[in-house]
Structures are given as C-alpha cells and as structure tokens.
C-alpha cells in the first residue's frame, strides 16, 4: 500500500515535470531566477572550442594564453606569479611607450603611435589595446611600478636592514614615489584620466594592491583588523603624497619626503590615540559593570 | 532592384532539393527542439582540417539558425536572407535595437580611430596612408563612418576604404547610398568589391545587377582580381561574421591580408548572460518581438527568425576570442569589450610582426 502510494506520487511528479515549459525563452527566465548558470541553451557550437569544464589545452608555440585563463585568487610564495592583466604583445608596446615617449609627449595617443612606429608596427596598431588605450597605458605604469617594487627592495636590502616596520614602510613608499620621477610632469593629467568613472575601479584596486605590497615587503604579519586599517591609512597617505609630488619643485623631491614622514607620523599618533581611547572605554565599562554587580544588579 | 521577398520556409525545401541528392534530404523545420539540437553535433569540426578545395568543404556541416545545413547551402540561404532585407536593412536595425546599433557602430569606429597619425616635424602630418577593408559591409554603415573619421576628424585624406560583400544586392544599396550621402572626396576613396570573405584571393569589382534572373551573390568563378597578402592596415567586420559558413577560414584570410601590425576588429552580437535578469528580458524580446516586427514591417518573418537564431548560435565572447588567437592574432587583456551588457561585443586583435 505504502509502496504503491510512493509510486503514484513519483508518477505524478514526473507528469508535472513534463508540463514544465521547455522553450528556451521561458527556460532562460527560470534559470535567471533559480540558478546562476551562464548559458541556458546547449552550447553545441559547430566550431572547435574549448569545453567549459576542461583544463585549458596547451597552446601551440607562438600563441599567447589569455590572462583570464590564468587568474587565481590566492597568493603563493612557492609558485611563480600569474602573468597579470597585460599580454606580451601589449607589454612590449606599452613598455616602449612608457620609457621612450611618455616623458616627452605625456600619456597620449601620440606616445603610443610613436612607440608603434619604433617597433615597426603601424599607426593603427595602438587600436588593438581596446577602447581606452590611454587609460591602459596609465594602468600599465601603475602595474609595472608596483610589481618592480619587490626587486627594488631587494636592491636596497642594506638600507632596509635594521629598520622597524613603520620605518621600512616609509622607505618603501618613498621608493615607489621616486618611480614616478620620469613622468611626474604628466602625472596630473594621468590622475585626471584615472578619475573618470569608468577607470576609477581600476585605479582604486591598484592603490589597494600597492598598499598591500608595501606592507608585505616591510614584513608585516598582522592577522587582526589592523591589517585593514593600516593598508587603508597607507592608501590615503600615498595618494596624498603622490599628488603633492606633482607640484613639488624642490631638490630631489625632499619636500615630498618630509610630507610623507609627517603624514605617517600623524597616522601613528592617531593610531595610538584611538588605541588609548579604546582601552579607556573598555576599562571604564568593565569597572562600571563590576560596580553595578556589587550593588546587586544581576548582569 | 526591388527584390522580391521569398518566404524562407518555402525557399528552404527547394534549395535543399537543389543542393542535396534526394536520399540525403533531412527533415526540414525551423523550430527548436532540444533533442534535435543535441543530436546535431558536427564532429567534422572537432578536427581542424585545413581543407581548401571547395568541393570537399561545401558539404561540411554548419548551422543556419537552429537547423543544420552544409556550408554551400548556408551560403545560398544567407544570400536569400540578405537579398530580401537589403532595402529595409537600416529601418529594421533601428526598430530592433531602438536605434542603439548606431551608437555601437559610432563607438566601434571612434575607438579604432582610423587615420590618426602622430604629429612630426619632418613629414607632413596627414600623409600617412592607410588601407581599410570592411568585410560584409554591404550597405556601408561602417565604411562611411570610417571615411568621415579619417578624412574629417583626423584630417587625413590618404585613407582608402574597400567595402567587400558576398551579396551584390547589399553592395548595390551601399553604392547608391554613397553617391547620395558622401562628399566627392570621400566617394573617391571608397571602392566596392564582391568577394567571399573565406577566400579573398577571388574578388571582382561590383557589377550592377541588371535583371532579376541574375544570381544576387558572388560567384567565385567570375573573379577578376584578388586581395594580396600583407596589404591591409585595418580589417573590420560588423554584424557579418556570424553569417559566414566557416569562421576559422575567414579569420585565416584576415590574417593573410593584414600587414604585420595590422588590426582585426569585429563588432558582433554576443552573450549577455553575465546579467541573468537583463538577459532573460533580452531573449524574450529577441525571440518574440523581432520576428513579429519583421513580419509586420518588412513582411518577412523568416529572415528575422534566422537573425535571432544565428545570434544565439554564435560562440560566446571567450570562445570567439580563442578562435581569433587560434588564427595567429595577438589580443590585449581579455580580448573583447562588452557593449550594452554583452548584447554586442567588440573583439580586437593585432597581427604580430
């Protein structure tokens, strides 16, 4: 009896399932509401293509592997880093532009086209960089200065040894600021491009990654919420110092370095003050609770 | 050239009986059934056979909307679609995309920036010549914008544009529009050729269609010229490549004709499924409203049914980017740019030196 009832129920379920719409359009509505699937129709493409769930096939020699295939969300000290958002063809064009032409012509299409001519490419070649080639060039500058910071730190181990972590942070930030020297006269223009709404996410992400890189190279090993507050504070300080540097005319940018030191000092004092206030509040609250308990309040 | 508008459903059985021997005729229907689609795998495409003889590739399977046909059939079917829509192509594009296709095309051309040349004291700044090849650009939308951008915005009169299309009806529409809309200097920089993008070694300058009995698409046996290797600066194809029978062959031809450093750019409908809710609304609009508009405004439901089905069958952004890489091009970053949430996408590549 019970088994027959079970069979009837499953038969009814199957009949209901058959009634569900199978037209692709309504299936897509269902998919939109229920799952996060990427496509709703079978992708039986008639052209050779990678299957979605397989590992990427090894490519023929000479073909680049797009960077989106190699992104990983973890950091590893024992494996080489992933290639990053710039492909080799892009990297050669943008490096030539940054080193040879941006100091003279600024972050403009002029620099990119002259760089293309240097590499025996065509005037139209910079168009392959995407819809915003100038922003791409500026992003490339941010990316290369950040990723070469570790090799810079390795060159200055004599300076870095024997310093406390805040002092190392100051030195590494100063090294990063000095990397802007060749193009500093065009940096205000570059910041204006980065301030456009479509490029703000890239700029903010690069700033956050730079702050993390500086603290990592300084040897910071904190695992408490101060991880976030330190990096947030450094992001703000670095952005202010960078902007200050664009109008600094002093010898060797000493004024910028003093500005940086003053801001870091303030952040430390503020951190100490916040910690002190927190301690006072905690002590006062627990003392107050103990007083109330001594009066008989059940807390 | 008032093209008659054959109902595609009537045309398909007759075309199929023309191209296939009787014992091989499949059941023909346009409607979607999931089981049929999953069975219609094209195992012939899994192995990348670089076959160039037309007799063996003409029978290779491909898709025409949601049905499976051979390549030669697809060519003929696509030809009949575009012959019937040639006159009202722009009006239909406006109705289907609410005029948004103009913004996509403007963005496409302005970001490619044809005709830009750096100022230099030694040479005349406007002298650098460029040769642009616009494939499947019959009615001239992209080509006219390229000419305006190069000659007027970038002040470079040495930019020449060649429009190539396999469909002579579309090219004739483009030619008459160019004589009406373009100034004389830009008309002089424009040329029209008939060619199959999968084999640009066989081309001929546009011959006007004189009678209704003539074939409206290009016959390679009448070719009189070819596009040489390494001769084109910029190769563009806008809303055309999904109609090709053999996309990898077209990409290889693009690679052949481009100069080292030349840029390949493709504007095409793509997948909007990174935004599921928007995507479901878009699919409803595509499959319900567009064929209906085609029927009411142009009197041709089947062509527009083919249109939305061909959009659905086109590979997604990542797959098409991999095909571009497979042809030897280099890309930048992800390799594509989504427009309007992925409804259209611009793929760019560069031929390396």
Pair A298, A161 in one domain = yes
The residue among A133, A158, A174 that closes a domain is A133
Is B284 within 8 Å of A62 when comparing Cβ atoms?
no
Which tens digits make up the pLDDT trace of B282-312?
Answer: 999 888 888 888 888 778 888 888 888 888 8
Rg over CA atoms, chain B = 20
The residue among A98, A133, A168 that closes a domain is A133
- Report the domain count for chain A: 2
The percent of chain A in helix, strand and coil, each rounded to the nearest 5, is: 70, 0, 30
Pair A224, A196 in one domain = yes
Give the residue with greater pLDDT, B37 vs B130. Answer: B130
**SS3 at position B98:** coil
Pair A129, A154 in one domain = no
Would you state the structure tokens that stand for residue B263, as one six-digit string?
């840029």
| Interface membership of B310 toward A (CB under 8 Å) | no
Question: Does residue A155 lie within any of the structural domains?
Answer: yes
- pLDDT at residue A8, rounded to an integer: 52
Question: Does residue A52 lie within any of the structural domains?
Answer: no
ipTM at complex level: 0.79
- CA atoms of B294 and B91, how far apart (whole Å): 10
Pair A299, A152 in one domain = yes
Q: Are A225 and A167 in contact (CB under 8 A)?
A: no
Q: Is A189 exposed, middle or buried (0-12, 13-18, 19+ CB in 10 A)?
A: middle
Q: How confident is the model at residue A81 (pLDDT cuts 50, 70, 90)?
A: confident
Pair A210, A128 in one domain = no
Pair A206, A271 in one domain = yes
Q: Is A17 exposed, middle or buried (0-12, 13-18, 19+ CB in 10 A)?
A: exposed
- Which one of B37, B118, B159 would you mutate to disrupt binding with A, by most A Cβ within 10 Å of its Cβ? B118
Question: Does residue A138 lie within any of the structural domains?
Answer: no
The domain in which residue A246 lies consists of 148-299
Pair A124, A259 in one domain = no
| Interface membership of B283 toward A (CB under 8 Å) | yes
- CA atoms of A124 and A135, how far apart (whole Å): 17
| Interface membership of A51 toward B (CB under 8 Å) | no
Q: Are B131 and A122 in contact (CB under 8 A)?
A: no
Pair A154, A297 in one domain = yes
Which residues of chain A neighbour B310 with C-beta distances below 8 Å? none
Which tens digits make up the pLDDT trace of B65-86?
Answer: 888 888 888 888 877 777 777 7
Question: Does residue A143 lie within any of the structural domains?
Answer: no
Mean pLDDT, range A222-234, rounded to an integer: 93
Choose the most confident range, by mean pLDDT, from B24-28, B43-47, B70-74, B231-235: B231-235
Is B334 within 8 Å of A68 when comparing Cβ atoms?
yes
Which residues of chain A neighbour B263 with C-beta distances below 8 Å? 122, 124-125, 127-128
End-to-end CA distance of chain A: 59
Question: Does residue A178 lie within any of the structural domains?
Answer: yes
Question: Does residue A163 lie within any of the structural domains?
Answer: yes
- CA atoms of B320 and B108, how far apart (whole Å): 18
Is B333 within 8 Å of A64 when comparing Cβ atoms?
no
What are the CB-based long-range contacts (under 8 Å, 24+) for A199-203? A199/A132, A199/A135, A199/A138, A199/A139, A202/A135, A202/A139, A203/A142
Point out the residue among B46, B111, B312 whose CB comes nearest to the CB of A127.
B111
Mean pLDDT, range A87-103, rounded to an integer: 96
**Which DSSP category does B346 fall into?**
E
- pLDDT at residue B125, rounded to an integer: 52
| Interface membership of B107 toward A (CB under 8 Å) | yes
Mean pLDDT, range A244-273, rounded to an integer: 95
| Interface membership of A67 toward B (CB under 8 Å) | yes
Give Dmax (Cα) for chain A: 96
How far CA A46 is from CA of B47, B248, B319, in Å, comes to: 11, 11, 12
In the predicted model, what is the mean pLDDT of chain A? 84
Give the residue with greater pLDDT, A32 vs B253. Answer: B253
Q: Are A179 and A145 in contact (CB under 8 A)?
A: yes
Q: How many CB atoms lie within 10 A of CB B7?
A: 13
Pair A184, A285 in one domain = yes
- pLDDT at residue B16, rounded to an integer: 44
Question: Does residue A67 lie within any of the structural domains?
Answer: no
Pair A122, A185 in one domain = no
Alpha helices in chain B (DSSP H): 8-19, 34-39, 54-57, 71-85, 89-97, 100-112, 141-148, 168-181, 184-188, 247-257, 276-284, 290-293, 301-313, 317-326
Question: What is the length of chain A?
Answer: 299
Is B112 within 8 Å of A46 when comparing Cβ atoms?
no
Pair A210, A297 in one domain = yes
Pair A170, A236 in one domain = yes
Question: Does residue A142 lie within any of the structural domains?
Answer: no
- pLDDT at residue B3, rounded to an integer: 43
């Amino acid at each position: 009896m019970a088994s027959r009832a079970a069979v009837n129920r499953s038969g009814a379920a199957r009949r209901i399932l058959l009634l569900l719409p199978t037209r692709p359009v309504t299936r897509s509505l269902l998919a939109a509401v229920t799952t996060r699937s990427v496509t709703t129709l079978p992708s039986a493409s008639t052209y050779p293509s990678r299957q979605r769930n397989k590992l990427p096939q090894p490519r023929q020699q000479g073909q680049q592997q797009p960077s989106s295939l190699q992104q990983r969300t973890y950091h590893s000290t024992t494996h080489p880093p992933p290639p990053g958002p710039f492909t080799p063809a892009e990297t050669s064009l943008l490096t030539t532009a940054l080193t040879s032409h941006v100091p003279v012509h600024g972050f403009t299409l002029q620099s990119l086209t002259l760089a293309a001519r240097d590499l025996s490419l065509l005037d139209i070649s910079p168009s392959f960089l995407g819809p915003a080639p100038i922003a791409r060039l500026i992003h490339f500058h941010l990316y290369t200065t950040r990723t070469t910071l570790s090799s810079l730190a390795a060159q200055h181990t004599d300076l870095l040894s024997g310093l406390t972590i805040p002092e190392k942070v100051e030195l590494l930030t100063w090294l990063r600021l000095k990397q802007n020297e060749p193009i500093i006269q065009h940096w205000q223009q570059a910041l204006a491009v980065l301030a456009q709404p479509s490029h703000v996410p890239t700029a903010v992400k690069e700033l956050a990654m730079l702050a993390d890189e500086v603290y990592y190279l300084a040897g910071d090993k904190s695992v408490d919420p101060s991880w976030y507050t330190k990096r947030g504070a450094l992001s703000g300080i670095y952005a202010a110092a960078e902007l200050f540097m664009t109008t600094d005319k002093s010898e060797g940018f000493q004024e910028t370095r003093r500005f940086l030191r003053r801001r870091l000092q303030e952040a430390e004092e503020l951190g100490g003050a916040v910690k002190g206030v927190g301690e006072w509040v905690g002590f006062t609250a627990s003392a107050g609770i103990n007083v109330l308990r001594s009066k008989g309040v059940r807390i | 050239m008032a093209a008659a508008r054959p109902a595609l459903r009537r045309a398909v059985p007759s075309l199929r009986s023309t191209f296939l021997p009787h014992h091989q005729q499949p059941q023909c229907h346009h409607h979607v059934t999931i089981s049929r689609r999953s069975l219609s795998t094209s195992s012939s495409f899994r192995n990348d056979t670089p076959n160039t003889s037309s007799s063996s590739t003409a029978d290779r399977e491909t898709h025409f909307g949601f049905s499976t046909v051979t390549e030669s059939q697809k060519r003929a079917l696509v030809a009949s679609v575009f012959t019937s829509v040639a006159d009202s192509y722009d009006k239909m594009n406006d109705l289907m995309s609410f005029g948004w296709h103009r913004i996509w095309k403007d963005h496409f051309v302005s970001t490619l920036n044809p005709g830009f040349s750096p100022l230099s004291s030694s040479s005349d700044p406007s002298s650098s010549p460029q040769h642009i090849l616009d494939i499947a650009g019959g009615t001239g939308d992209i080509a006219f914008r390229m000419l305006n951008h190069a000659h007027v915005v970038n002040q470079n009169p040495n930019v020449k544009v060649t429009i190539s299309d396999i469909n002579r009806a579309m090219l004739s529409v483009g030619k008459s529009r160019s004589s009406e809309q373009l100034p004389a200097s830009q008309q002089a920089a424009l040329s029209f050729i008939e060619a199959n993008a999968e084999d640009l070694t066989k081309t001929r300058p546009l011959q006007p269609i004189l009678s209704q009995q003539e074939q409206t698409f290009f016959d390679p046996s009448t070719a009189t010229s070819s596009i040489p290797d390494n001769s084109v600066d910029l190769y563009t194809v806008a809303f055309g490549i999904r109609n090709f029978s053999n996309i990898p062959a077209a990409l290889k031809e693009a690679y052949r004709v481009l100069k080292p450093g030349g840029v390949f750019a493709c504007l095409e409908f793509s997948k909007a499924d990174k935004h599921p809710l928007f995507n479901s609304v878009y699919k409803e609009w595509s499959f319900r409203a567009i064929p209906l508009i085609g029927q009411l405004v142009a009197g041709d439901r089947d062509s527009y049914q083919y249109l939305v089905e061909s959009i659905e069958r086109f590979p997604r952004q990542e797959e098409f980017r991999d095909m571009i890489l497979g042809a030897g091009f280099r890309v930048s970053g992800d390799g594509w740019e989504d427009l309007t949430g992925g409804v259209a996408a611009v793929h760019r590549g560069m031929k390396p030196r």
